[in-house]
Homo-oligomer: A and B are copies of this chain.
Amino acid sequence: MIKIGIVGYGNLGKGVESAVINSKDMELIGIFTRRNPRDLVVQSDTKVYALDDAFNMKDEIDVMVMCGGSANDLLDQTPAFAKHFNVIDSFDTHARIPEHFANVDAASQIEKTVSIISVGWDPGLFSVQRLYGQAVLPYGNDYTFWGKGVSQGHSDAIRRIEGVVDARQYTIPVEAALASVRNNEDPVLDTRQKHTRECYVVIEDGADAKQIEDAIVNMPNYFADYDTTVHFISMEELQRDHAGIPHGGVVFRSGKTGMNLDTHQLIEYKLELDSNPEFTASVLVAYARAAYRLHKDGVYGCKTVFDIAPGLLHEQDGETLRKHLL
């Protein structure tokens, strides 16, 4: 059994908890939190510890799954834990991946641990698909579409507007753009042509709806470059109709082969996720299995999904996989 620890217990930590419990070759040793462990209500009978207790349990845990956020937690936490544990994280601030990789790699040298960063679906499985697509079809175009799904960052941005009580933002791919790629038209698409944004917003009594709508649709970086629709709804409606955290998207590689590069080949990879955090968690747990195996083989240092052979992710051994899955 692979012994797993969870650091951080938000939606992602809960997803890892259920994924580990549903894995036949894994055992969940503990959940580590910055909150008061006594106050944390978890979904299973897993023991809850204070964060710092982890460092006294090094021998009891094979892989630590880091479930904090990219903005505030992982840049510090992942290197701190990588010094002593094999770790997996879902660091998703694309621009800072090289810096985070270097820090985690340095930390992993100390006790020769394996760390795999930026695991999930984007970065993660979508990145892997972009890579396979480019490697197999070096002449071509990449397209990544996100949604339909809830963007946490954009929902938060709306919540920061004065007069807003709560909000949910959906990112939605433009159907015409998807159709054009599928129709082998190799379109050149600007930001507005790829996605629309739909916002469900609860405002305070007496707040100026028109002013809030203007503040949303014109918000630089977040909404100004998109066609954005704003719906004002009640808190009851928000809780009833928008409680889920669905997401997904599509990665395409549209390429050409042949002596004259005139044969068209299209690869499409699509995710439809009823729960974004549970799916991300499931990916993290599969890569935790890989980290455990690599560490047993004496490998160490920081890795990404690009460095992990697919066979390392699956519970079954190579012979069984070749026989039944190849």
Contact = CB atoms under 8 A, between A and B. Distances in A.
A151 interface: no
Interface string A254-274: 010111010111111111111
A264 B138 CA distance: 34
A38 interface: no
A103 to B, nearest CB: 13
Interface residues of A, number: 71
A230 B310 CA distance: 41
A132 B309 CA distance: 10
Contact of A275 (B44, B265, B311, B314): B265
A157 interface: no
Interface stretch (A71-79, A164-172, A217-225, A316-324): A316-324
A267 B275 contact: no
A222 to B, nearest CB: 23
Contacts of A130: 325
Q: How many copies does the complex hold?
A: 2
A274 B101 CA distance: 39
Contacts of A141: none
Contacts of A136: 125, 279, 282-283, 286, 313
A137 B22 CA distance: 10
Interface in A270-326: 270-275, 278-279, 281-283, 286, 289, 304-311, 313-315, 318-319, 321-323, 325-326
A135 interface: yes
Specify which of A19, A127, A136, A269 lies most central, judged by the most chain B CB atoms within 10 Å of its CB.
Answer: A136
A320 to B, nearest CB: 10
A275 B304 contact: no
B98 A319 contact: yes
Interface in A120-150: 123, 125, 127-128, 130-132, 134-139
Given A22-B261, A257-B279, A310 B128 contact: yes
A118 interface: yes
A305 B131 CA distance: 14
21 contacts: A18-B257, A43-B259, A94-B326, A97-B322, A98-B323, A101-B322, A123-B326, A125-B132, A131-B325, A132-B313, A135-B315, A136-B282, A136-B313, A138-B315, A255-B282, A257-B275, A257-B281, A266-B271, A268-B270, A304-B322, A304-B326
A17 B258 CA distance: 9
B131 A311 contact: yes
